[in-house]
Structure 1
Amino acid sequence: MTGQLKNGDMFPNLVIPEVGGGTLRPANDLNGKYRVILIYRGHWCPFCNEQIAAFAQAADALSEAEIDVMAFSVDDETASAAFAAKHHWPFPLGHSADVETIVERTGAYDMHHPSRGHFLETTGFILAPDGSIVNAVYSTRAIGRLVPGDVIRLIAFMRSLSK
């Protein structure tokens, strides 16, 4: 395991299948913007549903603040597409993430559950425009995660420091 990523580390190059086709490359194509990467447990997690709904509802504020958002889980494409539709998810959404790869490359926690299978625990990253980590939030279970208001305020603060 690489270990957990720290502030200032470059986010690893990951390739995740995207709902609807194509691939997500979280560390690439930042276009001079900050980026939020949300790794969620799965469509079945009530806490993940709340987080995704909150980010979807904050889409205009995030866009106005020039913050890109993407999310992914181990859910297959069908479950991920239904999850995105349920929350009117306006951002890129990945599916079928490989647990071992994500754990190895990011240090995210994983869980083996008798009925849910092998999945990733909630993890969130804020990336600077150069792909370096501004903030990492690792959760060992369902709670402890990024929320849109905090993300917007932190990035505004980071921008103010560079002036």
Structure 2
Amino acid sequence: MSQHLKNGQIFPDLKIPALGGGALSLPGDLAGSYGVILIYRGHWCPFCNEQMAAFANASDALSQAGIKVVAFSVDDEAATAEFVRKHRIPFKMGHSANVETVIGATGAYDMQVPTRGHFLETTGFVLAPDGTIVNAVYSSRAIGRLVPSDVIRLVAFMKSSVK
């Protein structure tokens, strides 16, 4: 069984195919800023649609707070592209994540459903500018996930306590 990542650990190196080519390179793509990594179940999940729409709608506030966001799932590139278009997602998105690789690196939960295949359960991380984890949220089912307002408040608190 894979271990969950803990606060204070450096987020492990993870490469996920990026929408439009190349790869999300984590935690490197977030280096120098507070960052959010969102692992979502898939385009078909209503809770994921709500979460991703919320982060897309909060993108200006997140940017003003100095927070970068990336997200990925096991969805293929075509489904991810449609998901991005539907929600006007402005941040980097990954697709076609390998379930076993992500579980091995992060300890995320997974699920196998005949009608949906093998996918990752919702998992979220808030990283400090040096790539250390300041908050990890693991869900074993559809609910329980990061929301933009909490992330912004957490980062504001983290910044104020550093001074």
TM-score normalised to structure 1 length: 0.98
- 5 Å matches for 1:1-163? 1-163=1-163
Work out the CA distance in 2 between the residues paired with 1:45 and 1:30.
26
Work out the CA distance in 1 between the residues paired with 2:160 and 2:110.
36
Aligned residues: 163
> Which sections of structure 2, spanning at least 5 residues, go unmatched?
none
Secondary structure at 1:125 match in 2: strand
Work out the CA distance in 1 between the residues paired with 2:117 and 2:2.
23
Q: Identity, % of aligned pairs?
A: 70
Secondary structure at 2:10 match in 1: coil
Work out the CA distance in 1 between the residues paired with 2:99 and 2:29.
24
Root mean square deviation, CA, Å = 0.8
Work out the CA distance in 2 between the residues paired with 1:63 and 1:80.
22
TM-score normalised to structure 2 length: 0.98
Say if 1:26 and 1:70, in contact at 8 Å, map to a contact too: no
Q: CA deviation at 1:22?
A: 1.0
Work out the CA distance in 2 between the residues paired with 1:77 and 1:139.
24
> Which sections of structure 1, spanning at least 5 residues, go unmatched?
none
Q: CA deviation at 1:31?
A: 4.1
